[in-house]
Chain A
Amino acid sequence: MREKRRFCFTIFLITATALLAGCATSQKQILATNQSQVALRSIQSRAFDTTDKKLMLRSVINTMQDLDFLIQDSSLDLGTVTGQKFHGMIVVKMSVMVKERNAKQLLVRANVEYGIKAVEDPKTYQDFFTALEKSVFLTAQQVD
């Protein structure tokens, strides 16, 4: 009887530990990035020589639509645009933020999610900024 109770207790301990450990790994994802934050920011951001935030946001929207995204949300005040598209059975989500960098420039930052993974490959973002450059007739400048 006593052994049985001990056995049950052991099972309970193992299950509880596993569950708690599971909790820790899933919550770790909240603040996790693969790249260093500085490197990632540099990959995802470009500066443009304009201060017309509304026009820039409209160009971002046009570019995203040309890239097959369905726009799901936008806000001029906050300077954000969010969209999604389908890649087979995978959902690709993208959000872009436009904000003032200094008196003469705007900073555009994009981030993309592919299914349950963050896209951190520089080429993907470069492709987006190349398309955006064509739409705004301005050069996208690398920022540190």
Chain B
Amino acid sequence: MPTNLLVLPTNYLSAREQQMRKYSTTDEKKVIQAAAGALQDLGFTIDKSEMDLGMIVSSKNRTAVSAGQVTAAITADVACVLFGCYSNLYGKTDKAQKIEASVMVNSALAKDSTVVRVKFQSVVWNVSGQVSRFETITNPELYQGFFERISKAIFLEEQKI
């Protein structure tokens, strides 16, 4: 078992930069509502929420099928059969994914403003129904898009931390 499970990672500041924005308002409720709206805009369903700590947990289930991956796997499987061996690469291709988004809204982190921190993760299953990988989503456009939607809803520009 690794011993560094809870050691602060060296890149935690850059992770903060990507995942956090602050809005110059102290109306936490308004920001939470805007964040919930932004998640719904992105197709997430709200699983859990708590106003006291400003938490929203949401998820969406989507396909993970990639035409290129399926074609490559089937071609390899057929080629294998032609050479007289057995292969089931198709069974290992991605089929479905569950994307989870967790938002924490906090007005105690910065003076006269409210800080929003969001994180997206996904679990991908293959055609055989096994988990094929876990991913933390780091696509900057997704994060930026999320924060812009909150900005539009509360008429305030988001600021980097």
- Name the CB-closest residue of B to A121: B3
Whether, in the assembled complex, A127 has its beta carbon less than 8 Å from a beta carbon of chain B, the answer is: yes
Min CB gap A121→B, angstroms: 6
Interface size class, chain A: 35 or more
Interface size class of B (residues with CB under 8 A): 20 to 34
Residues of A contacting B9 with CB < 8 Å? 66-68
Distance of B98 from chain A, by nearest CB (Å): 12
* A127 in contact with B4 (CB, 8 Å): yes
Contact of A127 with B7 in the complex, beta carbons under 8 Å: yes
Q: State whether B53 touches A55 (Cβ < 8 A).
A: no
A72 at the interface (CB under 8 A from B): yes
- Main SS at interface, chain A: mixed
CB distance from A65 to the nearest CB of B (A): 6
Minimal beta-carbon separation of A90 from chain B (angstroms): 9
Produce 1/0 per residue, B1-32, CB < 8 A to A. 11111111100100110010000000000000
**Could you list some 18 contacts between A and B, CB below 8 A?**
A61-B55, A61-B106, A65-B104, A66-B15, A67-B6, A67-B12, A70-B119, A70-B121, A70-B136, A73-B57, A75-B53, A76-B53, A87-B5, A91-B134, A112-B6, A114-B1, A119-B5, A127-B8
Interface residues, chain B, CB within 8 Å of chain A?
1-9, 12, 15-16, 19, 48, 50, 52-53, 55, 57, 100, 102, 104, 106, 108-109, 117, 119, 121, 131, 133-136
